[in-house]
Structures are given as C-alpha cells and as structure tokens.
Amino acid sequence: MTADHAMDFYIDGRWRPSVAASAIPVVNPATEAVIGHVAGGNAADVDEAVAAARRAFPAFAATPRAVRIDLLRRILALLDERAEAFAQAISMEMGCAITFARASHVPFGIAHVRTQIEVLEHYPFLTERAGFAVAKEAIGVCALIAPWNWPLYQITAKVAPALAAGCTVVLKPSELSPYSALLFAQVMAEAGTPAGVFNMVGGAGEVVGAALSAHPDVDMISITGSTRAGILVAKAAADTVKRVVQELGGKSPNLFLDDADFETGVAKGVLAGMRNVGQSCSAPTRMIVPEARLAEVEALAVAAVGTIQVGDPADPATVLGPIANAAQYRRVQAMIEAGIADGARLICGGPGRPDTMKLGYYARPTIFSDVTPAMRIAQEEIFGPVLCIMPYDSEADGIALANDTVYGLGAHLQSQDIDRARRVAGQIRAGQVHLNFPAWCAHAPFGGYKRSGNGREYGEAGFEEYLETKAIVGY
C-alpha cells in the first residue's frame, strides 16, 4: 500500500520530509506482508514541531470559544465524510475486523470530537467566588502519544480536548498503525487548522516519544500505552516538571455476583473481553464468578467462543482478525504457555493459530479456568483473546479478587439488584466501573487507579486536563 505523505511529517501547517528520517516498514498482520513504509523521526524533527507549536500557542489560546468550536465542527464533518476510509485503514494496519472498525473504532473516535464541542459550548472558563475568581486557561504546548490498538479513537480523545482548551499540539502516533494517523493529519490540514496548532511527527517511542517527554518547551504530555512506557515518559518528563497524563495498562475484572444474569451475562463478558482481539487496556479479562456456578459459567463461556469467527478482517462474517503485530503475537503465545505451565485449566483454545489459518498473526480465542491470583495470567496484561475464569466463595472474597492487581483501569460488575451493584461498585478500585454492560459513553471519565495511570480522558474531565487553574484574588 502507498499512503499520501507516508514519508513526511506535518509541521507548522505543511507537509515536509524528516531531517534524517529512517524508513519504518508497515506490516499487514493478516498476511505478514510489508505493505509500505513510514518515516521515523528524530530529535531534530521534534524540535521543529515543538517550536512551531510554541509560536502558535499565544494566538490560538486567545481565540474566542466560537472560533475553536467552528474548527472542531469542520474536523467533525471531515471525519464523518471519510469514515469508510478510516475504517479500511485501521482494519488493514492493525488487523481488526472491518465490521468492528466501522461499528466501533471509527464512530467512537468521531464521538470524542462531538463530545468536546458539547463540553466547550458550555464550559465556564471564569467562575467568580466570594473575594476571588477562578480562571481556567490553556496549559500550553501538549505532546500527545497515541497507541496502536485504538489508533483514531485515542488520537481524537487527546487532540479534540487539547484544541478545545486552546492548546497547541505535537502528536506522535504509533508507527505500528500509522495510516489512520496520516488520514487524520490530512483532515486537520483541510479543516483549516492554523499553522503550528496541530503538528505530527511519527517514529519510535524511544526516539520521538523520549524527545517529546524531555523537551523543555512542552508543557504537558499525554500518553496511552503500556505501564512500562508510561513510567519511562514520566521519568523523562520529571526534570522539566511538566504535567503527565497517563492511560496505561489494565487487568480488568468482570465480577459476577450470585444474583447476576449468567445466561446472557457470561456470553457478553466473553465478547467484551475479546473484542478488538483482546487488545484493549480496559478489557474485562478476569471473569470472577461464584464457586457454585463455575461449571455453568465454563459451559456458557465455551459456547460463546463457539460463536466467534476468526479470520480475514475483510470478511464481513469475521469477528476477530489477527493480533496487530508480530511482537504482540509472540507475547500472547508466551502468556498462553505460561497459563498452562502454572496449572490453569485450559477449557478452550490454546497455543498457536486456529487450524484454518496458515499465515498471519492469528490467535485462538482461549479460556482458562480455576485461575488463581498467583498465576502470571491473573496478574499480567496479556493483550490478546485470553480470558481467565476465577472462582470465589463470598461477596467479600469476590471483591478482594477484583482488586487483587496492581492495575485499576476498568471493571465490570453483574447483578440484577441495582442497589447492590452500586454498593459493590463503590468498593472496586478502578477508574471506570460498568454495571450490567451499559452502552459506551463518550462523556464518562476514563482513566486509572494505581499503575493504570494518572489523570482522566473523555468528556469534561478529559478537557480539564489541558487547563491550568488561576486564582485571581480581589477580582
């Protein structure tokens, strides 16, 4: 495949080649074939992009609210218009089923822009109190590091609130899923984004990400990625005391109380844990169930896996395409082997590709039961279609299992008694708890407790991460 400007960066309102870019191959995970190359930037490219953003910041921060709303509306219209192109790019570059790209990746990504328009329309930037006022002001130049697993979705979750707040940005998309980012940069250019307000430099995290994290003219950095990557970013950012917002790893529980609707809930839980081929940081991959219902849950879970078709992402019948890249495929296979070695009981799936797949990074939807907290698969993020079923004795035991992890990003909770569900949700140490599989909401804050990160994204909470607070006493 070729992509417009694949070897260019978008800096200061124009496309231009890197100072000394390397060529990074882009691999289609369904075929393992190299389908193109993109530029890998360096510190000099970062310097140029940050300088452009710094120059643009004073004027953009001073723009009236209505001007920024109009810009976001133009971006929204172009994203809507090009939804199918984004779906095709995402499906090809990271292997998700085209139906899932159309139904989730693209519309949810677009929703972040719409949501920030709604936030910006009514947000109070100045609030008067007794004897003082509180002003909210754009924080400055923001470096935004996006992941490969939800490429458009996480780009808009960062860029839209940053622009709404009046910040200027330098985006570093993942070099593993770069084509949707190139399409997004084209949208930003055609929407009439002022020069320097949006800049994009691609490349490896240890080069471009590291340069952005340590850059003295970057006021804030937002990263979605692994906990390991988030720690490196925070350490690099510490010397310049910039704000760091991290949306990192997860090992999310799906706690079934004894009064849950097991008949429908278990199947939904399996699909929730394996959607996007399990490559979601908040995927509920630990299904925690009453010991007395374990055999029933196992049968329901295996039946649910039987409805999941693994195959060519372009096939409309496909539910799960391949793992997004070779390194992640190796990780998933190693973790399945670790589950077997640690004594977890394999009830479906296992190592290797599905029998029908001879090429591509395809993994078998896999479920382990009788998983204990000491096992690696119960504690480490796998990031693949692998589910752990963990039995418990009492409600208190179930809550303790749900919280027995260094992570705290998302959680699911199943109970037909909504008051009970609300009470137990208050005891789950996670940044977002879903009761009985609710609809996704772009306004609900998203972020983690513990090693799942700091700060929040989405809606008003995500918008406020890009603002400074100023007290004006005697106002």
Residues taking part in catalysis: 247, 281
Rg (CA), the chain: 22
**Strand partners for 39:** 23
Q: Is 21 exposed, middle or buried (0-12, 13-18, 19+ CB in 10 A)?
A: buried
Give the separation between CA 164 and CA 67, rounded to whole angstroms. Answer: 10
Residue with the two structure tokens 């070729």:
2
Backbone φ and ψ for 473, nearest 5 degrees, come out as -85, 135
Give CB contacts under 8 A, 24+ apart, made by 108-112.
Answer: 108/153, 108/440, 108/442, 109/79, 109/150, 109/152, 109/153, 109/155, 109/156, 109/157, 110/76, 110/79, 110/80, 110/83, 110/156, 111/442, 112/153, 112/156, 112/157, 112/160, 112/161, 112/442, 112/458
Which SS3 state, helix, strand or coil, does residue 31 take? coil
**Both structure tokens of 173:** 């998309």
Helix extents (H) in 317-417? 326-341, 376-379, 395-403
DSSP letter at 104 equals I
What length is written for the chain? Answer: 475
